Amino acid sequence: MGEYLLSVDPGTEAIGVAVWGDIRYTPENRVMRTLIEGLVIRPQSMKWAWHDKVLSMTQQLEEFVGDFNFHILAIEWPHIMGGARGMAANQGGTLLKLAYSVGAIAQWCQSRRRCDVLVCPVFQWKGQLPKSVVAKRIRKRLTASEIAVLSGNESHDWDACGIGLYQQGRFG
């Protein structure tokens, strides 16, 4: 079995996950990977406390990746955004909870899977573009067979794909 790349869009209510296959080369000799799995994971109960939701999703992530031998986890690194919405999110503790989610997933990855963790700062890979614009740009960079493996039109799975594309130098 080959080595895979796992890209994750973290969250406290849902996480997006994308699994990228073995390395292949383009005619221009660029390294590329093919998207082979994508989904959105939600906590087993939305009534749980936020930290229990994160634990539930991390455990489901571990079950989902199963036998995939991934050696890199690319995960979005949150950033304090300006403006009224960004300040409101920061006041409510959303950014700290998101950082907790990143830490839980990274810790699982490093302790259980012995893989490298690469953080992809949100402001570098997508900035403050609207979700619809980001999804459209990501879609343009995927093949029809890659789009077919995604779980739907949710921003979490598109962002997980964008993070994986960014890590490969195919987005940004």
pLDDT digits over 48-85, tens only? Answer: 999 999 999 999 999 998 878 888 999 999 887 777 76
What's the confidence (pLDDT) of residue 23? Answer: 73
* Number of separate domains in the chain: 1
**71 vs 88, higher pLDDT:** 71
Within a domain: 32: yes
Q: Which two tokens stand for residue 115?
A: 């893989």
Within a domain: 40: yes
Residues contacting 20, CB < 8 A, separation 6+: 4, 5, 6, 7, 33, 34, 35, 36, 164, 168
The identity of residue 80, as a single letter, is I
Best CA proximity match to 41, nearest among 14, 8, 75, 59? 14
What's the confidence (pLDDT) of residue 89? Answer: 62
Tell me, what CATH number does 40's domain have? 3.30.420.10
pLDDT tens-digit map of 135-170? 999 999 998 888 888 867 678 989 999 999 999 888
Mean pLDDT across 25-44 = 84
Within a domain: 123: yes
What's the confidence (pLDDT) of residue 101? Answer: 96
Domain that holds residue 152: 4-167
Within a domain: 142: yes
Within a domain: 172: no
